[in-house]
Copies of this chain bind each other. A is one copy, B any other.
Amino acid sequence: MDQPVPSSAYPVSARNKVKRLHERGFYDRETIWKILDAAMLCHVSYVIDGQPFCTPTIHWREGDWLYWHGSSASRMLRQLKAGAPVCLTVSHLDGLVLSRCGFNHSANHRSAMCFGIAGIVDDPGQKSRAFDALIERFYPGRPAMMRANTVQEEKATMVIGMQIEEASAKVRAKGAGDNDEDLETPLWAGVIPVETVLRSPEISPQVPAGTAVPPHVRLYGEGRRLDDALLEAQALYEASAK
């Protein structure tokens, strides 16, 4: 993997500059990549004839490149075929923040917005490798345990790639921020933390008896935080790709 130095920052322009509460803004790859890699779900914004669309999908990252996929019939992917400006955003909700006045209510969160030009990965070899990368990134070691995709399966699905041109992150991770004049108000204030966690894996009744639980399933162990598991999977993926 040819990756830039993780501590280097993306360029800042009017497009990605954090305007609101700019002290919560970050532009360095380390912060942004960690937010991206801790999530499976992203939201992709694109424009068709002036109409914005916001489509949820699964993304994965290799260095400065983001990838996602979808049916060859989908509205989003037909639009992106020509190469189109996209904003891909990942957000984590980490806590509800209740303060003594309405204005100081907030939410703890981590979010990353990434800008670039999205295009189709249409070289058949590159596309096959991308499908394997998608599975390998989330479930390290699993592609080697499966049959290859059929030609028909790969035709039915498109892969989109986008080099991140600019990006920014916003992070809030602290308690209630009350004004001095509100501190005597006898009203509960504080943070109610929010976590996205994994529950006990439910094996398909169609799996042959005696089939082992592979390490990439144990990685998503019951009660574990999803973001921690996804970061571990990404680290394994990057180590195996070296």
Contact = CB atoms under 8 A, between A and B. Distances in A.
Interface of A: 15, 19-21, 40-41, 43-47, 50-56, 58, 70-71, 73-75, 85-89, 91, 93, 96, 98, 100-103, 105, 107, 109, 111, 113, 115, 131-132, 134-135, 138-139, 142-143, 145-147, 149-150, 153, 156-157, 175-176, 178, 182-208, 210-214, 217, 220, 226
Contacts of A53: 45, 87, 113
CB-CB nearest 7 A-B residue pairs: A45-B54, A193-B199, A45-B45, A56-B91, A45-B52, A54-B89, A43-B43
A54 B56 CA distance: 11
Given A199-B195, A201-B191, A107 B212 contact: no
A208 B186 contact: yes
Given A102-B135, A153-B101, A217-B98, A87 B189 contact: no
Given A88-B54, A139-B98, A187 B211 contact: yes
Contact of A195 (B70, B105, B197): B197
A220 B214 CA distance: 36
A70 B20 CA distance: 8
B220 A93 contact: no
B194 A197 contact: yes
Contacts of A109: 41, 56
B146 A19 contact: no
Contact of A206 (B189, B200, B208): B189
Contact of A56 (B85, B111, B135): B111
Contacts of A132: 102
Interface of A: prevailing SS? mixed
Contact of A73 (B20, B74, B89): B20
A51 B4 CA distance: 26
Contacts of A98: 139, 142, 217
A187 B207 contact: yes
Contacts of A195: 196-197, 199
Nearest to A147: B101
Contacts of A131: 102
Given A15-B51, A186-B210, A193-B199, 18 more contacts: A19-B71, A19-B74, A20-B70, A21-B71, A43-B43, A45-B52, A51-B115, A54-B87, A56-B109, A100-B147, A102-B132, A102-B153, A175-B204, A186-B207, A186-B211, A188-B212, A192-B201, A194-B197
